[in-house]
Amino acid sequence: MKPIAAAALSLPDADQLERLLKRGPVRLKLLVTPEFKGEAESGNVIADVPGSDPNAGIVLIGGHLDSWDLGTGAIDDASGVGITTAAAKRIMDAGQPRRTIRVVWFGAEEVGGFGGEAYAKAHASERHVFASESDFGADRVWKFETNLPDSAKAVGDRLATALTPLGISRGRGNAGGGTDVGPVLRTGVAGIDLGQSGLRYFDYHHTPDDTLDKIDPEQLRQNVAAWTALLAIVANAPEDIGKVPPPRTESLAPQGARMSEIGQKSGRIFAVRRICD
């Protein structure tokens, strides 16, 4: 099948067009500029908060550095990078955790998840006991879901207690992870998803409207608080965090990105890819 050109209007632009149409006829010029430039080199940025027990394993967190060219990527995914890094810094400032916390800013996620795949291959010999990512903007976390071994179920219980004051409840599903940590999770590593509200996410992501002014500082702070609690509990858990059944491939979508968690807004129904960001 021969490829054909495709384009889409962001929701704010579509709203503006609707307003103009109410005033009369509109002529629209659509300029589509993307082109394939060939392959180029990317990379991952990795930083560790060293743990006191080298045998306790690595807690892997992070987000992705790259974004779509049209916007600055404040929502997708500078916020995720900032949230996870800030949480790790808080743990580091409070003292040495039991487990090493590894923060990864993944490269080349948007073009195929290559940073996550490369990380998993390069660090396959290291013992990872937990992995999670933030890649769904900066709006508030409203629920969490786990994929923990029976030996570490108490970790989820302690997290439920810690997150309740932040307005975060425990979900009934299993954690699925996301594009960047997916390759590590598929090796049987445990994980927890902090599910964020998606009511605004698809209004802005992958468009020129994905800019810093769309970030709500209060909701951003709630995210950092939730991630800090998560890291404090997981990185210092006395239990052994062993292997778990890997999440199903189709569940490896960003936290909150499955259709049941997005719903409808102002009469719009969002179409969500099975694996997307």
Instruction: Give the pLDDT score at 249.
Output: 58
Q: Is the dihedral of CA 159, 162, 166, 167 positive or negative?
A: positive
- Band the pLDDT of 29: cuts 50, 70, 90: confident
> What's the mean pLDDT in 211-229?
97
pLDDT of residue 82 exceeding 80, the answer is yes
Contact residues for 120 (Cβ-Cβ < 8 A; gap 6+): 183, 184, 187
Instruction: Give the pLDDT score at 251.
Output: 47
> What's the mean pLDDT in 238-242?
96
- Band the pLDDT of 259: cuts 50, 70, 90: very low
What single-letter DSSP state applies at residue 222? H
- Mean pLDDT score of the chain, rounded to an integer? 88
| Beta-ladder partners of 106 | 64
Instruction: Give the pLDDT score at 11.
Output: 85
Q: Are 116 and 182 in contact (CB under 8 A)?
A: yes
Instruction: Give the pLDDT score at 46.
Output: 97
Instruction: Give the pLDDT score at 91.
Output: 98
**Of residues 202 and 125, which shows the higher confidence score?**
125
Minimal CA–CA distance to 238: which of 91, 50, 56? 56
Instruction: Give the pLDDT score at 211.
Output: 93
Tokens of 217: 């500082």
Classify each residue of 241-265 as buried b or exposed e, where b means 16 or more C-beta atoms within 10 Å of its C-beta: beebebbeeebbbbbbbbeebbeee
Q: What percent of the chain has pLDDT over 90?
A: 73
Instruction: Give the pLDDT score at 268.
Output: 32
Q: What percent of the chain has pLDDT over 70?
A: 90
**Of residues 230 and 251, which shows the higher confidence score?**
230
> What's the mean pLDDT in 27-41?
83
Which pLDDT tens digit goes with each residue over 128-173? 999 999 999 999 999 999 999 999 999 999 999 999 999 999 999 9
Instruction: Give the pLDDT score at 274.
Output: 29
- Alpha carbon dihedral 65, 71, 76, 81, in 10-degree steps, equals 40
